[in-house]
Each structure stands twice: as structure tokens, then as C-alpha cells.
Amino acid sequence: MRAVIHATITTVAKNDWDRLFGNHYPFTRYDFLLALEQGGSLGLQRGWLPQYAVVYDDNDTMVAAMPWFKKTHSYGEYLFDWAFAEAFERYGFQYYPKLINAIPFTPCQGPRLAISEGVNRGEMLSIIESELLKQHDVSNLQSLYVEPDLSHAFADEGWWQRFDIQFLWQNRDYGSFDDFLAALVSRKRKTIRKERQKVSEQNVQMGTLQGNELTAGFWQQFTLFYQRTYLKRSGHGGYLTPATFKLWAEHLADYIVVFAAYKDDNLLAASLCFKGEDTLYGRYWGCREELEFLHFEACYYQGIEFCINHGLQYFDAGAQGEHKLHRGFEPVLREGFYRFMEAPLSDAIEQYCQDERSALREHLKTLQTYLPYKISD
């Protein structure tokens, strides 16, 4: 077995990469990552340097793959480590660069290590880690929003676990949106109906766009919406370039679902989602004009209705947002794993992770008491 680190995904065989990762999760698709890279959303100036790790067996067959990135900052990760970086700086230690195994700008749980049948996860993880550390002098390695089946391998290898709380809608065999509403307590049910009615009263018409309905004109408008959203929220034009959106449109249209709002036949707002095998992922939102409750309609209620109508089991509407709780999204724990090189602050960071896990487990229990669902007998 030998590990090879690729500084660009273009030197990795597309068929082998997609064979290992499959097509159930859109964000590890070769074309998704290629669009980030070729569209200029990654690179030295962006502080995200691709380091795609692949393992070949003795027959030169690719048997494992992981998307890694060398980072010179902590933006676009969502399971944030600013406290670690500040502590390192305060005591005169260098925190960056670091290596992270994640999907850039995408806090969605999914596969982070793909392996062939019969291959041991722990062994592959160890081989890849060893090769990464041969090539890079870093303070730490991280794997973010990891699927549970990989968690055990990280734990067995001695990585430290951290949690994040997200909110996930779950389809309990609802036949319609009204069936979903019927599962809620009366007050929450009435609130959602009033919010949806208010959007309609503002002369807004909603539509769902997929495939060839996503025209060049739509992408031009949506890119402006996206940039405007980030400018207002963060003071910059967003992490993704127009070229990345264009490449996604060309190569991943079958994975994209857009909930579009129109007023007087003009595009007013849109929520862009990606569709997996059993999950809808809400990713980006933007608007030309902010109207009351339009964000909830486009980003939450349309997605719930789509999942019900298309038999999808989950709706992951993005990071953070405890307001999702009152609209039927249930709090769930997501995991990240960390490997710090031996340093004077290591013990303190390990203790921080333990304390944080305990606090978030308790917070999860508290959040669960606020769920809007009727209590079953």
C-alpha cells in the first residue's frame, strides 16, 4: 500500500474517485470539487490548498481516498477552532498552517474517507496521516462533519472528538405538508400557516427549478443574490466565485434543486439546494428584496414540501439557526475529530474538547424540550 498526495484533483482519476465515493452524497463528487478548484474558489489566495490523499494497493488500484486541504486560516469551516488559534498566538506558538479533511464551505455530514470493499478504515487513515505529515509541517489535522461509521476509526486512532449542534428535518412518512403540520402542536401549526399565507399575500409566487430549467440567466441573477447576502452579513462577496456556480450548473445540474420566488414575473429570491440519495441539503440563499417570512418559505417550507413529495428522508437546511427548531427541525450532534502535534497546549486543548462535549450534550437535551411536535401517548 502506498499513499499519494495530489495538489489538484485533476491528477486523480475521476472514475476511480467517483467509484469509491459513490453518488449518494453530492459534495464528494469529482465534479463538485473540480468546480471549486477550477472556478477559483480554492487556491493559495483563498487559503485553501487542495491535498487530495489517495491510497493504491500493490496492483496500483485506488483503494482509498480523502479530500484534504492545507489551510492558512479558519474561515469557511463552521466547526470553528478560533479559540485554539487565539491560544496558540497568545502563547507565542504558530497555529497555521493546518490540514483539514472536509468539504470547503459545506458543513454537511457525509463521507470523509472512501474505501474499497474489504479495506480497513483505520489502516487507511493511518497510512494517509503518515504521508501527510511527511510532506507538511502543521500544528494539527482535523476531519469535520464526519459520518458515524468513520468516527470509530478516528477514536481508535486517538483523535480528539468535538461536537457541533445542527438542525435536521426528518420525514416520518408524511403524505403531504398538512400531514407534517398535523404532527405539530396547535400554536406552532398556526404560526407556520400564517407565515406561508403572509408570503402569498405579498404577491409572491414560488416555483421549483431543476435541470435545464436552471438557465444562464438564472445563474447570473442568483450569483448576484449570493454576493449581496454575504456582503450584508459578512462584509465580503462570499466564498464562491461566479465561475464555480457556472461549472456546477454545467456538470451537476441533476443534483441541484432551486426554490425560486417571483414577483410580477421577476425573480425576487432563491434558495439553492443539493440533492443526495435520501437527503436535501440547503446551501445558499439570496434575494433582490427582503419580504416578511420569505426566507422561511424559500429555505425551509419549500424544502420540507419537496422532501415529502419526492420521498426524501432528511432535510439538512444548513449550519446554525435555533429558529429552525420551532419549524420542525430537530437538534442533532455532528462530529469533528482533531489530531494535534505534541505541544505545550495539547493537554489544555484536550480538556477543552472534553468540557465542550459535555456542555453540548446538555444543551442538546435542553433544545429537545422545545421541539414543536405533539407528545405521543
Query: pLDDT, tens digit, for every residue of 26-67?
Result: 999 999 999 999 999 999 999 999 999 999 999 999 999 999
Task: Give the residue ranges of DSSP H helices in 212-269.
Answer: 216-234, 242-251
Residue 331 corresponds to which cell in the numbers above?
Answer: 437538534
Q: How does residue 236 score in pLDDT terms, banded at 50, 70 and 90?
A: confident
Sign of CA dihedral 242, 244, 245, 250: positive
The pLDDT assigned to 62 comes to 98
Question: Please, what is the average pLDDT of the chain?
Answer: 95
Looking at 1.10.10.10, 3.40.640.10, 1.10.520.10, 3.40.630.30, the CATH number of the domain 2-166+332-368 comes to 3.40.630.30
- In the block, which residue shows the cell 429558529? 323
Residue 224 corresponds to which cell in the numbers above?
Answer: 448576484
Residue 129 corresponds to which cell in the numbers above?
Answer: 496521516
What does the alpha-carbon distance between residue 106 and residue 329 come to, in Å, rounded to a whole number?
19
CB 308 within 8 A of CB 180: yes
Residue 205 corresponds to which cell in the numbers above?
Answer: 409566487
User: Does the domain at residues 172-312 carry the CATH identifier 3.40.630.30?
Assistant: yes
Q: Which long-range contacts (CB under 8 A, 24 or more apart) does 261-264 make?
A: 261/199, 261/204, 261/205, 261/206, 261/207, 261/287, 261/294, 261/297, 261/298, 262/204, 262/205, 262/206, 262/207, 263/202, 263/203, 263/204, 263/205, 263/289, 264/203
Reduced to 3 states, what is the DSSP secondary structure of residue 276?
coil
Query: pLDDT, tens digit, for every residue of 284-340?
Result: 999 999 999 999 999 999 999 999 999 999 999 988 788 899 999 999 999 999 999
Work out the average pLDDT over 239-253: 96
CB 221 within 8 A of CB 267: yes
The pLDDT assigned to 235 comes to 86
CB 247 within 8 A of CB 37: no
The pLDDT assigned to 189 comes to 96
Residue 258 parent element (H or E): strand 256-263
Q: Could you tell me the pTM of the whole model?
A: 0.96
Q: How does residue 234 score in pLDDT terms, banded at 50, 70 and 90?
A: confident
- Which of 160, 119, 73, 110 is closest to 347 using CA atoms? 160
Residue 74 corresponds to which cell in the numbers above?
Answer: 479558519
**Other C-beta atoms lying within 10 Å of the C-beta of residue 30:** 18
Query: pLDDT, tens digit, for every residue of 119-165?
Result: 999 999 999 999 999 999 999 999 999 999 899 999 999 999 999 99
Residue 40 corresponds to which cell in the numbers above?
Answer: 477559483
Lowest-pLDDT choice from 17-31, 64-78, 229-243, 351-365: 229-243
Domain range summary for the chain, segments of one domain joined by +: 2-166+332-368, 172-312
Q: Do domains 2-166+332-368 and 172-312 have the same CATH topology?
A: yes
Checking if the pLDDT of 191 tops 90, the result is yes
Checking if the pLDDT of 377 tops 80, the result is no
